[in-house]
Chain A
Amino acid sequence: MDLLRRLFGSHPEENEGAERPLPPAGEMFEPVEALDLEAMEPPVDEEDTQPLQTRPLAPPQPFQSAIRRIEYGQASDVGQVRDNNQDACLTMVITPELAGGPPPIGVFIVADGMGGHHDGELASAIAVQTIARHIVDGVIGPHLDEPSERSSDQMTIPEVLAEAMSAANQAVQQRVPDGGTTATCAIVRGDLAYIAHVGDSRAYLISDGNMELITRDHSLVRRLQELGRLTSEEAEVHPQRNVLYRALGQGDTMDTDAATRRLPPGSRLLLCSDGMWGVVGDDRIAAILDEVDSPQEACNLMVEEANARGGPDNITAVLMQMPD
């Protein structure tokens, strides 16, 4: 190719176009046909007979693992205004490569703590740890068991999640009586996502360019919106938009929202605190997710964006992506 370019002083294809007339044959240089291009490279069948001759390596075939891997990322930041980060998050992915083994499983948790001094960060940390511990015992363990051992003694994932949230509620109540926290938790096994949720952190399902909010904020303004008393525009500026009516650590009993969703191949699940969704906004989050392939990079970018917009609250994003 370089040879041709040197000969014609431009890209070869351009000379094939009808708009530029070919120079008259023999006037300036040897006609193209006279060049034996074939002879400049060894014929392919001679390859074996000339083992010592160097030649460019074939482009490396990237190794493709057969396993359907869950990709994920996470980022949590104090923001620009607060003194401490009261958000907490946790991710845990098991990717077995075993004959006849169970499918990959992922656990994703985001919590946004509230309370003076260190109560908020303590509440969210205790909640996340308690929930994760219950999931390890109730879901991860049985998940690794042989299929033949399954019985109704085993709790289902929704049952474990309900129990985990309830235990976290008790733990926060006991250990941080003046604190509270939101908690949004997703377990992904196979192509099902099991979600448990209390408070105003959120879970979004992003699939085929659509971003769908799959949790419901337990906030006063959201309730007023649901009842048709407020428009979403009014809710955005409502003086009491930060008031929650349900959170972990507020009473002996607590209702947990639960949902199970099927995750299409390549879809993404985003969990985030209100310091993310309330600051960056759905459209911009969707745009970032559309631009960036790597879940970790997307999380970093989303946090940067929230900080660029003033970072008024703690910012947390956890993003998981289903294999294609």
Chain B
Amino acid sequence: MSDDTRRIETDEGPLSTPDTSLQPGQVLTSRYRILGIIGMGGMGAVYQARDLHFPTVTKLVAVKEMINMAQDQQLRETTMKNFEREAEILATLSHPAIPQIYDFFSFGDRAYLVMEFIQGKDLEAILNSTDAFLPVEQIRQWGIEICDVLGYLHNHEPEPIVFRDMKPSNVMIDHHRRVRLIDFGIAKTFQMGQPGTMIGTDGYAAPEQYKGMASPAADIYALGASLHHLLTRRDPRLEPPFSFHKRPIRELNPNVGEAFAAVIMRAVNYNPEDRYASAVAMKQSLEGAGGDGKMTVVEPGTRPARPQQQPTTRSSQAAVPVSQVPDEAVVPVPEVAPVESSIEPIWSFQVEDAVRSTPLVHNGVVYVGAYDHNLWALDVKDGSLLWKFATDDGIGSSPAYAGGTIYVGSTDEALHAIDVRTGNRKWLFKTKGRIYTTPAPALGLVFFGSDDGNIYALRPGRTSAREMWSFNLMSPIRSSPAVANERLYCGTDLGEFICMDVSGDLRWRFETRRRVMSSPLVHEDLVYFGSDDWYFYALDTDQGYPIWRFRTKGPIVSSPAMGDGNIYFGSADGFVYAVEALGGREMWKYEVGEPVTSSPTLYGDAVYVGAVDGALYALHAQTGELLWRYQSEGPIISSPHAVDDIVYVGSDDHHIYAFQA
């Protein structure tokens, strides 16, 4: 009877002060001698008493006391009348799980119910007597017995009787090991608002019950909630109300069979019409949910349980967004789109080696580099070849456009400037290392990093380029620089992330624990990038002050994309993440299963990203649902690029693909 152990009241009400309780030795109606207090309920005490009508034997009874708290005279009278009416109904009941009612009477503001004294232990006490899981089969049997008595009550004529307060502490297991219901919800008649803030909710009560609607469906919910607690050992009074679907039973207790778990999850459905239609129906399901976990009894004409959300595509982080509740009951469960939809490329173009470069689209032409040494220029409409430009080694970085010129770095250690109209070389600039970074044209200059450890700032001319400055960062640079507000940001293989003025002065540096290959994204006054140290970082652009960081389970090579207040990136842990840009909170993640080194791109409502499994994924930007995927013949390291409703991406299968966005 340890009712509400975690509840705290700010005001000590008169009920919890012991001096208002009956004292041992006191005799009620010259018949019931109080022996002691069994427990304290919300409305008064429950006493053990001896029936003096049996002078030669000791006949024990339980005397439940309820104190009428109503202030208003009329309300007090109504309350007392209701109590008497309900006591009369209870007295007529006959079921092995229902204690016998012997007597009831009232004095002033107190009403008493005399009933059978049951020896045994309530389910909450049984649960608390051990740290281990209770035997699953035992709990199922209890559930069946409780369903039986609830069915009896609900089928009572002329009106169904609602138990109203189903919870483990109101179910006793007597010394015959039978289930007995105690503490009928009759006490609720007396429940009034209590002053002061309290911690701890009922936990077991159905949502509609808080509007005063007590129905058989509410008893079914509360029974489901009680069984959930018994099986999982997770006390619903300490969890957000109505959040059972956030705690799948088999995740917490693998001993529970699938069918048994399904019965309970159906009972705790938020909408009464989604639960069992009757306790009898639930009992049948429980009876069929034993043994191997297969459902052997299928109810005719019942609705299937609602499809639950896909756990892999939803946030699993503990923190809940402020002013927004991602709950199974409020967020509409979207129809799961066909996973293997028949998406086919509009066109594809085969080159002679892997394509890891991100396609660039300018003026109806798509430019993309390949490890076959070439930069390819294709018509966006049909992928027909316009020209190709050969460097002396593979191209792993992406081209950039500015002022009639295509710039691309090559592993031949040179930056190449190509005339956009003719495809002819304007100039090349040799460094002392391979170039894997994508050049950033800005402010009339071109910035890029090289494996020789330098960041270069070139002023491009008609036939040559002048080096304005270079800055040595002591380690290869694979992170493509971002230039914004006259500052340049990039990472290094030493794990540093740096900010420079475009004039070549270092502003600040930030150390991560591993190399930074991810290319930064600047938005407002924050700069975003990932690191091989498994973290994704948001720093302030002014000082490199860390605003937030987000940990994945693998190196982050993928560069971020931004949209709708979210940041999107992939990780080698096999997930694509959507993280709130300002707060760093996970909005969703999508499991690919293989490393995602490709950088996502956002277009319309979709995030497009490739993965090492060879597929291009289109995910819903808000929910992370899979819209479609296309399987290529080789890993997709290339980052997709979308322009005018077409998504372009390269693959290690030597192809460049174009898809309808």
By a CB distance below 8 angstroms, the chain A residues around B533 are 152
Identify which of A86, A153, A192, A242 contacts B198 (C-beta below 8 A). A242
How far, in angstroms, from A229 to B206 measured CA to CA in the complex?
11
Is there a chain A Cβ closer than 8 Å to B284's Cβ?
A: no
Is there a chain B Cβ closer than 8 Å to A37's Cβ?
A: no
Residue pair B543, A150 in contact (C-beta under 8 Å): yes
Say how far B470's CB is from chain A's closest CB, in angstroms: 21
Q: Which stretch of A12-20, A24-32, A129-137, A211-219 is in the interface?
A: A211-219
Identify which of A114, A150, A234 contacts B510 (C-beta below 8 A). A150
Is there a chain B Cβ closer than 8 Å to A247's Cβ?
A: yes
Residue pair B548, A156 in contact (C-beta under 8 Å): yes
By a CB distance below 8 angstroms, the chain A residues around B12 are 116
How far, in angstroms, from A21 to B9 measured CA to CA in the complex?
80
Residue pair B330, A228 in contact (C-beta under 8 Å): yes
Say how far A84's CB is from chain B's closest CB, in angstroms: 10
By a CB distance below 8 angstroms, the chain B residues around A152 are 510-513, 531, 533, 535, 537, 546, 549
- Closest B residue by C-beta to A120: B10
- Closest B residue by C-beta to A190: B540
Question: In the complex where A150-B543, A150-B545, A245-B240 touch, is A178 in contact with B8 (Cβ < 8 A)?
Answer: yes
Question: In the complex where A152-B537, A229-B210 touch, is A260 in contact with B10 (Cβ < 8 A)?
Answer: no
- Closest A residue by C-beta to B243: A223
Residue pair B585, A258 in contact (C-beta under 8 Å): yes
CB interface residues, B 314-332, toward A, < 8 Å: 318-325, 327, 329-330
Residue pair B207, A147 in contact (C-beta under 8 Å): no
Is there a chain B Cβ closer than 8 Å to A264's Cβ?
A: no
- Closest B residue by C-beta to A113: B10
Identify which of B197, B200, B211, B510 contacts A112 (C-beta below 8 A). B197
Chain A 169-212 interface 0/1 with B at a Cβ cutoff of 8 Å (1 = within) = 00000000011100000000110100101001000000000000
Residue pair A240, B327 in contact (C-beta under 8 Å): no
Residue pair A229, B325 in contact (C-beta under 8 Å): no
CB interface residues, A 231-269, toward B, < 8 Å: 234, 238-247, 250-251, 255-262
Is there a chain A Cβ closer than 8 Å to B208's Cβ?
A: yes
Is there a chain B Cβ closer than 8 Å to A94's Cβ?
A: no
Residue pair B210, A240 in contact (C-beta under 8 Å): yes
How far, in angstroms, from A265 to B580 measured CA to CA in the complex?
22
- Closest A residue by C-beta to B580: A260
CB interface residues, B 160-212, toward A, < 8 Å: 191-201, 207-208, 210-211
Say how far A307's CB is from chain B's closest CB, in angstroms: 18
How far, in angstroms, from A195 to B546 measured CA to CA in the complex?
16
By a CB distance below 8 angstroms, the chain A residues around B241 are 220, 223-224, 245
Is there a chain B Cβ closer than 8 Å to A50's Cβ?
A: no
By a CB distance below 8 angstroms, the chain B residues around A216 are 320, 322-325
Say how far A286's CB is from chain B's closest CB, in angstroms: 17
Say how far A96's CB is from chain B's closest CB, in angstroms: 13
Question: In the complex where A158-B548, A260-B582, A260-B584 touch, is A115 in contact with B238 (Cβ < 8 A)?
Answer: no
Is there a chain B Cβ closer than 8 Å to A97's Cβ?
A: no
Say how far A315's CB is from chain B's closest CB, in angstroms: 14
Say how far A108's CB is from chain B's closest CB, in angstroms: 16
By a CB distance below 8 angstroms, the chain B residues around A260 are 547-548, 580, 582-584
Residue pair A197, B322 in contact (C-beta under 8 Å): yes
Residue pair A258, B198 in contact (C-beta under 8 Å): no
Is there a chain A Cβ closer than 8 Å to B242's Cβ?
A: yes
By a CB distance below 8 angstroms, the chain B residues around A224 are 207, 210, 241
Residue pair A256, B199 in contact (C-beta under 8 Å): no
Is there a chain B Cβ closer than 8 Å to A52's Cβ?
A: no
Is there a chain A Cβ closer than 8 Å to B505's Cβ?
A: no
Chain B 1-20 interface 0/1 with A at a Cβ cutoff of 8 Å (1 = within) = 00000101110100000000
Residue pair B543, A102 in contact (C-beta under 8 Å): yes
By a CB distance below 8 angstroms, the chain B residues around A112 are 197
Residue pair B320, A255 in contact (C-beta under 8 Å): yes
Chain A 52-83 interface 0/1 with B at a Cβ cutoff of 8 Å (1 = within) = 00000000000000000000000000000000
Identify which of A86, A102, A148, A214 contacts B322 (C-beta below 8 A). A214
Say how far B202's CB is from chain A's closest CB, in angstroms: 8
How far, in angstroms, from A156 to B579 measured CA to CA in the complex?
16
Is there a chain B Cβ closer than 8 Å to A226's Cβ?
A: yes
By a CB distance below 8 angstroms, the chain A residues around B270 are 227
How far, in angstroms, from A323 to B270 measured CA to CA in the complex?
47
Which of A115, A243, A257, A261 is the most central at the interface, judged by chain B CB atoms within 10 Å of its CB?
A: A243
- Closest B residue by C-beta to A244: B199
Interface residues of A (CB under 8 A from B): 86, 102, 112, 114-116, 119-120, 143, 147-148, 150-154, 156-159, 178-180, 189-190, 192, 195, 197, 200, 213-216, 218, 220-221, 223-224, 226-230, 234, 238-247, 250-251, 255-262, 274, 313
Interface contacts beyond A243-B199, A260-B580: sample of 15 additional A-B pairs, CB < 8 Å, sorted by A: A114-B199, A116-B10, A150-B511, A156-B547, A157-B547, A190-B542, A218-B240, A223-B242, A224-B207, A227-B327, A242-B195, A242-B197, A250-B6, A250-B238, A251-B238
- What are 10 A-B contacts with C-beta separation under 8 Å? A116-B9, A147-B544, A153-B511, A156-B584, A230-B211, A239-B194, A244-B198, A246-B240, A257-B322, A258-B585
